[in-house]
Amino acid sequence: MRKTNTGKQKTERKSRMEKYRELTGLCLMPGVNNDKLEAFRQKYINDPSKVVPMHITLLNRFFLPGAMNAEIVNKLKAIAGRTQRFEFWAKPLSCFPTSNVLYLTPSPLAPVEAMTQALYDAFPEYHTDFCGFSTYHMTIALGNPKKKMDDIIKEYQEIFEYKPLRFEARSLDMFHLSENKWTKCLSFDLA
């Protein structure tokens, strides 16, 4: 039965990935100087997205690299240039229960929402969340069987306790998924 559930999850994830054979997203990248946290993520993210460092997704759909032009790049550069680097805390530990995703929640949210709003204003065709803002999060576990989640949470708490972790938002990066591989395409330092 265990193999069936794991196989079913992998099949569903593969199906979602095939649905979007190619996509691009914009992410807020914090400086992460926490080898233990990155090792934890690498251990428990069972998905091609594990190659993308710790991040907060701002837009989960954006122009594909072949559609990029100087105007788009200049708008992104201007948004990053107007956004001051900011410190935030990542509060543990939340879960999207239907997908078994464990994540940290950035706080305060105001600077993250302000940057997302600037992107919506510059690129209204990518304002896909008409109910407000997304659930901003920093994924630390993905693609694990449901019955393993309690053990993963326990391990996280043993290593990191239940304290918020401190980060600094440093750049706006664009990542591209093609042929089941994520690649960083562009990066713009915050002011």
Digit-coded pLDDT (tens) for 38-72: 999 999 999 999 999 999 999 999 999 999 999 99
Domain ranges of the chain: 2-189
Is the per-residue pLDDT at 18 higher than 80?
no
Burial zone of 110 (CB within 10 Å; 0-12 exposed, 13-18 middle, 19+ buried) = exposed
Q: With 50 as the cut, is the pLDDT of residue 15 above it?
A: no
Q: What is this structure's pTM? A: 0.85
- Residues 141-152 have pLDDT tens digits of 999 999 999 999
Higher pLDDT, 8 or 148: 148
Beta-strand (E) ranges in the chain? 22-31, 56-59, 86-96, 101-107, 138-141, 165-178, 181-189
Q: Both tokens of residue 182? A: 């994520």
Residue 91: C-alpha distances to residues 17, 58, 103, 105, 127 (Å): 29, 18, 9, 5, 26
Instruction: Of 118, 116, 62, 108, give the one whose Cα is nearest residue 88.
Output: 108
Structure tokens that stand for 145 in this block: 């069987």
Which CATH architecture group holds 2-189? Alpha-Beta Complex (3.90)
Does 174 have pLDDT greater than 70? yes
The mean pLDDT value for 157-170 works out to: 94
pLDDT of 3 reads: 41
Predicted pLDDT at 130: 58
The count of other CB atoms within 10 Å of the CB of residue 155 is 14
